[in-house]
């Protein structure tokens, strides 16, 4: 069995209910066992700027217009605006998050396929990077595997930047370490 850690999040259509439903579906995955779950936490959206200040004329360091940024609804750090001028508001609801330990013999790409199926069953539509969603399930770790593939990177590339992952993950690891003593 491979010890995997998954990050779950939702900020649409009763988020806590969406996360709980996904936990029930994860329990039913073949060749897998849901071992531990962190308590549900509420966090602010990550990867989306709640306010963008642009220059006049409204362009960024890459020459993007305020309109094109508004269409994207997120900024790459390299798109940091210059100066002060027009204010554009981006917002989305807070997230309900949890981290789970799942032991599985499913290969990583098959696990990802099963996860995407659960997301789709719960109404996930992939429109925009870091946009609002009914459900997002990320593979954070898959045993000691290091994998870089166009559709899957393990460990998850943003773990170290997301406090809503780091703190609960640390608590799960400490709990596991205590159990092994």
Does residue 77 register a pLDDT over 60? no
* pLDDT bracket for residue 50 (50, 70, 90): very low
User: Hey, is 71 helix, strand or coil?
Assistant: helix
Q: Are 83 and 66 in contact (CB under 8 A)?
A: no
Query: For all residues of the chain together, what is the average pLDDT?
Result: 82
Domains along the chain with CATH numbers: 2-45+93-180 (3.30.70.560), 51-89 (no CATH)
Q: Which residue has the higher pLDDT, 47 or 86?
A: 47
Give the Cβ contact number of residue 106 at 10 Å: 19
Q: How many residues does the chain have?
A: 181
Q: Which residue has the tokens 């696990």?
A: 111
The bridge status of strand 95-104 relative to strand 136-142 is: unpaired
Measure the CA–CA gap between 119 and 25, rounded to whole angstroms. Answer: 10
Query: Rounded to 5 degrees, what angle do the CA atoms 153, 154, 158 make?
Result: 75
Read off the tokens for 5.
């850690």
What average pLDDT does this structure show over 7-26?
97
* pLDDT bracket for residue 181 (50, 70, 90): low
Q: How far is CA 61 from CA 70, 76, 130, in A?
A: 15, 11, 22
Handedness of CA 34, 110, 157, 20 (dihedral sign): negative
What average pLDDT does this structure show over 82-101?
72
Q: Which residue has the tokens 């936490």?
A: 41
| pLDDT per residue as tens digits for the range 143-154 | 999 999 999 999
């Amino acid at each position: 069995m491979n010890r995997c850690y998954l990050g779950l999040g939702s900020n649409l259509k009763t988020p806590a209910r969406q996360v709980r439903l996904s936990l029930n579906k994860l329990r039913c995955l073949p060749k897998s066992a849901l071992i531990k779950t962190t308590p549900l936490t509420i966090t602010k959206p990550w990867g989306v700027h709640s306010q963008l200040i642009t220059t006049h004329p409204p362009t960024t360091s890459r020459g993007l217009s305020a309109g094109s940024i508004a269409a994207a609804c997120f900024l790459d750090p390299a798109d940091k605006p210059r100066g002060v001028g027009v204010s554009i508001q981006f917002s989305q609801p807070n997230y309900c998050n949890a981290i789970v330990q799942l032991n599985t013999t499913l290969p990583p790409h098959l696990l990802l396929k099963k996860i995407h199926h659960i997301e789709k069953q719960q109404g996930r539509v992939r429109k925009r990077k870091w946009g609002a969603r009914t459900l997002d399930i990320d593979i954070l770790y898959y045993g000691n595997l290091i994998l870089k593939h166009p559709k899957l990177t393990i460990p998850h590339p943003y773990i170290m930047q997301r406090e809503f992952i780091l703190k609960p993950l640390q608590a799960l690891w400490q709990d596991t370490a205590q159990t092994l003593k």
